[in-house]
Amino acid sequence: MRYLIVPFIIYILAKTEGVLSQDEISKERSPEFWRKNAQDDLLIKLSKTLNLNKAKNIILFLGDGMSNPTITAARIFKGQNEGFNGERDSLSFEKFPTVGLSKTYCVDSQVADSACSATAYLTGVKSNYQTIGVSAEVKLNDCLASKVEKNQVDSIAVWAQNNGLSTGIVTTTTVTNASPAGTYSHTPNRGFESDVYIRALNQSLEDCEDIAKQLIFRDPGKSFNVILGGGRKNFLPNSTTNGNRLDNLDLIKHWEDSKLNWKRSKIMSKKARTKYVTDRESLLNVDFRRTDYLLGLFNRGHLDYHLDSKSRQPTLKEMTEAAIKVLQKNNKGYFLFVEGGLIDKAHHVNMAYKALDETLEFSKAVQKAVDLTQENDTLIVVTADHAHVMSMAGYSDRGNPITGIAGQVSNIDKLPYMTLSYANGPSAGQHSNRGLRDDLRNVDNIGEKDFQYPSLVPLQYESHGGDDVTVFARGPWAHLFSGVIEQNNIPHFMAFAGCLGNGLTMCSNDYK
C-alpha cells in the first residue's frame, strides 16, 4: 500500500514548493495575466529578424522516438521535479524561434523505423523500412542491390567533408545503431552492425559489409573527427572479453593505427593527434585543444539509462560538449549529429518514467550546444525520427504528478488509470486479470523508474507511432523548417543554409 502514501506526499510537496501556489492560482484567474503573457510573447516574436547568414556550423539533434506527447510530458516532468508549474515550463529547444512538423513514413511503410527515417533526415532520400543509406530500389536484406552504386545515397556528413568541414557523431546507443549509421553506412539491414549478424542470416560477407567495418574503413566514417557512444562489442573480435566479431578484426586498433600517418590538415605537415577513451573520467580529462580525432566507446552495447549509469559513463551533455570542443577548431566549420537514443529504448519497454528522464538529458545536451555556439553562424535543428504510442490522458488537476495516476476513475469499472499509458507493449495484461483491470491504488511501484506503464495490445516490444514529429530550429535560415514538411527535406534545408552538397544553396548563383 506504499503507493497510497508516496503520491500524497509528492502532491503536498508540489503545492508547498510552488507548483500550484496560491499566488500562482490568483494570477492565472485574472484575464490580464494571460493577455500580458501573450503580448510579451508577441513582442519577442516581433523583435526577431530573419537570419540569412551562411551557417558555418550545423548541429542536428535527434531525439529517437521523441513524440509530441513525450515532449509535453517531459516538460511537465521537468517542472514538477524542480518544484515549479510543469505545464508552463519548457524544454531548452522549445524556446527555438522556428517550429514545424515532419512526416515520417517510409517508402514501403506507414510507420517508420529508425533506419528508413535516418536515411530521410540525413541523406535527403526516403527509403524502405529497416534499410540505411540506400534508395527504395533496395529491399530488406538485398545485399547485392545495396552494393550497386546508384542505389547508394550519401549523407550530409559527406557533403560537409567535401567542403572541408569537420564531422562527428554522438549517441547514447551503439555508434552502429540505425540513427548514427545513417550518417555513414549503406546497408540493406540495420541489424548488420557486426559481421556476426550478417553470418546469422547466412548472407555473404562479400556482398554485405557490416556497419562497424564501414565506419572504420570507409568514408565518411573513417574521416569523422568525433565518434562517441556505445557498441564496443561490434569493434572487437569474439576472442576478447567484450567482442563479438568472427572475422578476428580489432577495429579499434585499426582506427588508432590508421591515424598515425594522417596529417592534421592538407596544409599542415604535423601528424593528427588522436585519443581513444572508454569511460567518463577519461573523456572529461581529454585535452580537446590537442585532439584532432576522438573515439569514445563507453559500453559493450548501448549506454546505460541516465538513471542507471552511476557516473560510470558520460552524459549526453558531456559528450556533446566534448564533440563541439574538438570540432570547433576547424575554421571552416563542422557538422555534428547528436542522438538521444534511449528515449526510444525506454518507450519500447513501456517505461515512461525513464523515457521522460532521457528526454530531459537530451534537452540539457541541446542547451549545452546553445551555450557553446553563436546563433548568427550555427544552425541547430532538433527533431525526432518517429513517434511512439504513449498517450497522455485523463482530466487531472494541475500539479498532479505526470508519472502518477490520473485525477479521475473510469466511469465504467470505477477504477483509476494512469495519466501516461501505451497503445501496446510488453506490459499489456500486467495490470489486469481475466480482462478486469487491477486497482492501481494497490500497486506499490508506481512512480519508480522501472515501473512499466499500462498498455492495451500485448507485444514483445511497444511499437512506433506514425504521427508527425516536431522540428525545432535556431540559427541561419531556421525559418525554412516551419510548416509541415517531408522528413527528407531536412538535410536539403540544412545544406542550403551551409552551402553544402549539389543542390540549391544560399551561395548558388541560381539563388542569388
Mean pLDDT (whole number) for 418-429: 96
Grid coordinates given for 168: 562527428
Q: What is the pLDDT of residue 264?
A: 63
Per-domain boundaries in the chain = 1-35+395-462, 57-389+464-498
Whether residue 267 is predicted with pLDDT greater than 70 in this model: the reply is no
Least confident window among 21-25, 76-80, 455-459, 506-510: 21-25
Q: Which runs of consecutive H residues, i.e. helices, occur in 48-169?
A: 68-81, 114-123, 143-147, 156-162
For residues 216 and 254, the answer to whether their CB atoms sit within 8 Å is yes
**Measured at the alpha carbon of residue 28, what is the angle toward residues 33 and 421, in degrees to the nearest 5?**
130
- Residue 309 is among the residues annotated as catalytic for this protein: no
**Bridge partners, residue 226, by sequence:** 168, 294
Measuring CA to CA, how many Å separate 375 from each of 97, 98, 287? Answer: 11, 13, 26
Instruction: Dump pLDDT digits (tens) for 149-158.
Output: 999 999 999 9
Q: What is the pLDDT of residue 266?
A: 55
Dihedral class, residue 498 (left if φ above 0, else alpha if ψ from -120 to 50, else beta): alpha
Question: What pLDDT band is residue 265 in, cutting at 50, 70 and 90?
Answer: low
Q: How many Å apart are CA 140 and CA 143, to the nearest integer?
A: 8
Whether residue 414 is predicted with pLDDT greater than 50 in this model: the reply is yes
Mean pLDDT (whole number) for 251-261: 92
Percentage above 70 pLDDT, the chain: 94
What phi and psi values does residue 488 have, to the nearest 5 degrees? Answer: -75, -5
Q: What is the pLDDT of residue 313?
A: 97
Mean pLDDT (whole number) for 421-450: 91
Instruction: Dump pLDDT digits (tens) for 112-164.
Output: 999 999 999 999 999 999 999 999 999 999 999 999 999 999 999 999 999 99
Least confident window among 26-35, 50-59, 287-296: 26-35
CATH class of 57-389+464-498: alpha beta
Q: What is the pLDDT of residue 99?
A: 98
Identity at 447, one-letter amino acid code: G
Q: How many CB atoms are located within 10 Å of the residue 28 CB?
A: 15
Grid coordinates given for 64: 529517437
Question: What pLDDT band is residue 8 in, cutting at 50, 70 and 90?
Answer: very low
Q: How many Å apart are CA 388 and CA 379, to the nearest integer?
A: 27
Global confidence as pTM: 0.93
Grid coordinates given for 38: 501573450
**Bridge partners, residue 486, by sequence:** 103
Whether residue 17 is predicted with pLDDT greater than 60 in this model: the reply is no
Active-site annotation holder among 92, 102, 114, 117 = 114
For residues 309 and 29, the answer to whether their CB atoms sit within 8 Å is no
Q: What is the pLDDT of residue 6?
A: 37
- For residue 294, give every residue at least 6 positions away whose Cβ sits within 8 Å of its Cβ, in sequence order, or none: 168, 225, 226, 227, 228, 274, 275, 277, 286, 288, 322, 323, 326
Q: What is the pLDDT of residue 20?
A: 57
Whether residue 13 is predicted with pLDDT greater than 60 in this model: the reply is no
Question: What pLDDT band is residue 70 in, cutting at 50, 70 and 90?
Answer: very high
Instruction: Dump pLDDT digits (tens) for 183-197.
Output: 999 999 999 999 999
Mean pLDDT (whole number) for 405-426: 94
Rg from Cα positions in the chain: 24
Mean pLDDT (whole number) for 318-327: 98
Whether residue 477 is predicted with pLDDT greater than 50 in this model: the reply is yes
For residues 340 and 228, the answer to whether their CB atoms sit within 8 Å is no
Q: What is the pLDDT of residue 42?
A: 87
Measuring CA to CA, how many Å separate 74 from each of 219, 344, 461? Answer: 37, 14, 22
Q: Grid cell 549545452 — which residue?
A: 368
Whether residue 18 is predicted with pLDDT greater than 60 in this model: the reply is no
Cis peptide before 220 (omega within 30 of 0): yes
Whether residue 269 is predicted with pLDDT greater than 60 in this model: the reply is no
Q: What is the pLDDT of residue 436?
A: 86
Instruction: Dump pLDDT digits (tens) for 376-392.
Output: 999 999 999 999 999 99
